Amino acid sequence: MGDYSESEVSIAFTNSSLAYTISDTDLVSGWLQGKSPKNVQHNPSMDKLPPPRHPLPQRSFSQDIRQKLGSSLSSLGRLLAYDADENAERGNWTGRLDFVLSMLGYAVGLGNIWRFPFLCYRNGGGAFILPYLLMLCVVGLPLFYLEVCLGQFCSRGAAKCWEFAPIFKGVGVAMIVASTLVSIYYNMIIAWAEFYMFASFTSKLPWSDCDNPDWNTPDCSLKWPLVDCLTGVKQTNGTCYDVQGQLAGVWNSTLFEEVTGRRRVSPSEEYWSHHVLAKSSGVFSPGSPRWHLTLCLLLAWFITFLCLLKGIKTTGKVVYFTAIFPYVVLVVLFFRGVTLEAAANGIKFYIIPDFERLLDAKVWRDAGNQIFYSLGAAWGGLITLASYNRFHNNALRDSLVVSLGNCLTSLFGGFVIFSYLGYMANQLNVDVSKVVTSGPGLAFIVYPEAVTRLPAPPVWSVAFFFMLILLGLDSQFAMVETVLTGILDQWPQYRHRKTLVICLICIV
């Protein structure tokens, strides 16, 4: 034991009323020999400590499990959380998953649900996946990775990251302008989804019948039901009358429209056009504001303000819910959809390939457009979100995860949507191609019509529109953050007034 130094160490025995000062040599040698420590010196200052407690009882197995579980959760928390910010002025993401989930929420938006499935159907079904994936590998992923690296390396937003090449600063300004314009109408779509969700909190959906004089017209389709007219009298205008001379319905909708000049309109379409939007006769007759949509738009902007109140510090926490929960709803809707009658017809319509369509240049153009539209490249959001990364973050890994996750979500969303379209086409006794559409027409006309034919329609309606709201909010957060970061990078003196700046952005 002579190799040990004779430095003194202080050891306080917390379960005793005494404190001792001993040498580490005597402590180690005595411990090896099973003896008590030698050469101890009493410390008078510890005399006033309370008497020693009774020995603690032996811990139970459950206590050990709880301690190990708590230790594991603590270790997981330390693994997912970062230490202090590297960039004290601008700040960084506080968690290791904040950036990935924010990027995933930004990339996965409304276009994955209402645009990609329609493009896939229109451009050869399953054959469209080939140019889509090729455009992802050749154009989408490299550009996505480039913008993430640029933002992470420079720690600047879309406008200021071009200081190494000032001639390109206009590109960054154009990105901010594009995000500004898109965020204006994007929040309006969120407001529509909010209105539909609130309207769904009822025992009977308001667009389920033609008995509403405020928005239904004589052309409402339920007043002109499709019939076979096997026992009735077929008229030359496509209508059918029973033996008593009463109108039974329409036996040929195409003939009915050609002869009468009238078009059968679904209740959900009339609800959308005459009640929700209340379309006027033209641009020069704008009409009065729709108070219910105005309040929903105000709510959408208020939610955006709250989630961006502290910039990425609040957004990085909100996305743990807004980016993950839509997948839960999608999975629930998928399993409900595939169990519906004739759902397989819709799915076949979605995936059966038509390889001859690959010879059409329009198919390849649509694939490239969808990649840019879906991944959000060249809009400034990727650069902005990546600018809050730490310098040594694995940008390649995150880019691969987000890009592939975005494309897989599009493919999965197509199965969800077309399962309901197949069911709806079967219920209407028409071909699937007659009910396939994209954009707002799919989200606010076709799907609301489909849920009216499901058991417990309000439940599925609330779930679907809540999912749309969350999908829209994630993209909205990133676009408004792009504008906010561009302003604060250009005028850093306002950085300490970030709350006021984001408030003004939302108001304007």
Domain ranges (residues) in the chain: 1-56, 95-212+289-507, 225-263
The pLDDT, as a whole number, for residue 378 is 87
- The second-level CATH assignment, the architecture, of 95-212+289-507 is Orthogonal Bundle (1.10)
Per-residue pLDDT of the chain in tens (508 residues, 90 and over written 9): 444 444 433 333 333 333 333 444 444 444 444 444 444 444 555 455 455 554 545 555 555 555 655 555 455 455 556 667 888 888 899 888 999 999 999 999 988 888 898 888 888 888 898 999 999 999 999 999 999 999 999 999 999 999 889 999 999 999 999 999 999 999 999 999 999 999 999 999 999 999 999 999 999 988 988 888 888 898 989 999 988 888 999 988 889 988 998 888 889 989 998 999 888 777 787 778 889 999 999 999 999 999 998 778 888 889 999 999 999 999 999 999 999 888 999 898 888 888 888 999 999 999 999 999 889 888 999 999 999 999 999 999 999 999 999 999 999 999 998 898 888 888 777 788 777 776 788 889 888 988 888 889 999 999 999 999 999 999 999 999 999 999 999 999 998 888 899 999 999 8
Contact at 8 Å (CB) between 460 and 333?
yes
> H helices of 429-456, where?
440-441, 447-451
Distance CA 383, CA 310 (A): 19
249 to each of 101, 142, 207, 238, 239, how far by Cα in Å? Answer: 52, 56, 20, 9, 6
The pLDDT, as a whole number, for residue 23 is 44
Look at residues 311, 300, 312, 320 and name the one whose alpha carbon lies nearest to residue 473. 300
Look at residues 191, 179, 189 and name the one whose alpha carbon lies nearest to residue 113. 189
The pLDDT, as a whole number, for residue 457 is 93
Contact at 8 Å (CB) between 363 and 126?
no
The pLDDT, as a whole number, for residue 25 is 45
Contact at 8 Å (CB) between 347 and 418?
yes
The pLDDT, as a whole number, for residue 354 is 87
CA angle, residues 202, 208, 210, in degrees to nearest 5:
125
> H helices of 125-202, where?
129-135, 141-154, 169-199
Distance CA 432, CA 446 (A): 12
Look at residues 118, 139, 95 and name the one whose alpha carbon lies nearest to residue 414. 118
The pLDDT, as a whole number, for residue 1 is 43
Name the β-bridge partners of 239: 250
Q: Which residues contact 228 (CB under 8 A, 6 or more apart)?
A: 251
Q: For the CA atoms of 292, 296, 302, 303, what is the dihedral angle to 10 degrees?
A: 150
Q: State both tokens at 197.
A: 């969700």
Q: Which residues contact 4 (CB under 8 A, 6 or more apart)?
A: 24, 25, 28
Residues making up the chain, counted from first to last: 508
Name the β-bridge partners of 282: 285
Distance CA 99, CA 104 (A): 8
Look at residues 174, 143, 468, 476 and name the one whose alpha carbon lies nearest to residue 308. 476
The pLDDT, as a whole number, for residue 34 is 46
Percent of the chain as helix, strand, coil, to the nearest 5: 65, 5, 30
The pLDDT, as a whole number, for residue 171 is 93
Q: State both tokens at 211.
A: 């008995």
